[in-house]
């Protein structure tokens, strides 16, 4: 049987350094052609694989079928889940040091950095698109059947994420600049949904932490400049607690100008 008609798991191996990329596809040959085209154009989304291709050349790569999977009689969703499960099985066998795969979890984009152009194209394509009830149900069902090992890998990947000050500033700015229309749409989309923490008890210690976090993030405006309480405190070189004490006595302008002049916060 030719690779064009084979569904299953495949590998792309660099013979020079021994590293392997593991993937899955309903039509392996077409997927290979897609990889090959992107690599030749220097447009592959896996930058590690692309850099190795550029360094050693096409002749040092070997393409193999790792596992043939029969998909006769299966639904599209069942095929997808089966391929992901088998791909994850083979990813788990290999050490991370010999894998080109950026994502430790098959079927996930966790850890992949897309170009600004691609992000813009995806955003433009997805604007106004709503997933059907069936699609949402399928996604929810798939998440329920994730193995503990897969969940642990996803959790570990999220914990290793580093959120820079620039990212925090952008998120804060985006939240503060939401239009009234956007806020209404968000409210309507959440209406009727059951909160994930409904019915769960929160300890007093957690309540205190949440309270402090929310107070630190409260936006404060002065002369058109909007910053959180924590940001104003950092600007003055004092602690959040000290800034909060000042605000109990004075307004923001006086609290700032007792140490700095106006040009500091502009």
Inform me whether the pLDDT recorded for 263 exceeds 50.
no
Inform me whether the pLDDT recorded for 240 exceeds 90.
no
Give residue 249's pLDDT.
81
- The alpha carbon of residue 148 and the mean position of all alpha carbons in its chain are separated, in whole angstroms, by 20
Mean pLDDT of 257-265: 48
pTM (2 d.p.): 0.44
Q: Encode 102-142 in three state secondary structure.
A: CCCCCCCCCCCCCCHHHHHHHHHHHCCCCCCHHHHHHHHHH
Q: Which residues pair with 203 in a beta bridge?
A: none
Spatial separation of the C-alpha atoms in residues 100 and 23, rounded to whole Å: 10
Place of tokens 């002065």: 222
Residue pair 38/44 in contact (Cβ under 8 Å)? The answer is yes
Q: Which range among 5-14, 51-60, 201-210 shows the weakest confidence by mean pLDDT?
A: 201-210
Inform me whether the pLDDT recorded for 45 exceeds 70.
yes
Nearest to 11 by CA among 28, 30, 33, 34: 28
Inform me whether the pLDDT recorded for 128 exceeds 90.
no
The domains located in the chain, with CATH, are: 3-124+146-161 (3.40.1440.10), 166-190+214-264 (no CATH)
Residues 6+ apart with CB under 8 A from 90: 9, 22, 66, 67
Give residue 266's pLDDT.
41
């Amino acid at each position: 049987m030719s690779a064009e008609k084979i569904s299953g798991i495949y590998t792309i191996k660099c013979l020079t350094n021994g590293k392997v990329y593991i993937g899955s596809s309903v039509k392996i040959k077409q997927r290979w052609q897609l990889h090959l085209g992107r690599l030749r154009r220097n447009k592959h989304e896996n930058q590690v694989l692309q850099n190795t291709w550029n360094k050693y050349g096409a002749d040092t790569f070997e393409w193999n079928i790792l596992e043939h999977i029969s998909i006769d009689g299966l639904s599209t969703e069942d095929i997808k889940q089966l391929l992901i499960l088998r791909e994850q099985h083979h990813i788990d066998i290999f050490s991370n040091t010999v894998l080109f795969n950026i994502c430790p979890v098959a079927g996930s984009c966790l850890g992949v950095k897309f170009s600004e152009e691609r992000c813009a194209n995806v955003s433009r394509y997805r604007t106004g698109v709503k997933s059907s009830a069936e699609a949402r149900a399928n996604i929810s069902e798939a998440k329920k059947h994730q193995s503990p090992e897969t969940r642990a890998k996803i959790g570990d990947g999220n914990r290793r994420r580093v959120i820079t000050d620039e990212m925090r500033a952008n998120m804060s700015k985006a939240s503060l600049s939401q239009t009234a229309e956007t806020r209404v749409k968000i409210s309507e989309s959440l209406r009727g949904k059951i909160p994930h923490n409904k019915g769960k008890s929160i300890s007093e210690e957690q309540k205190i932490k949440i309270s402090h976090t929310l107070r630190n993030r409260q936006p404060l405006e002065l002369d058109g400049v909007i910053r959180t309480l924590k940001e104003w405190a950092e600007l003055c070189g004092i602690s959040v607690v000290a800034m909060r004490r000042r605000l109990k006595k004075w307004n923001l302008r006086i609290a700032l100008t007792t140490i700095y002049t106006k040009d500091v916060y502009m």
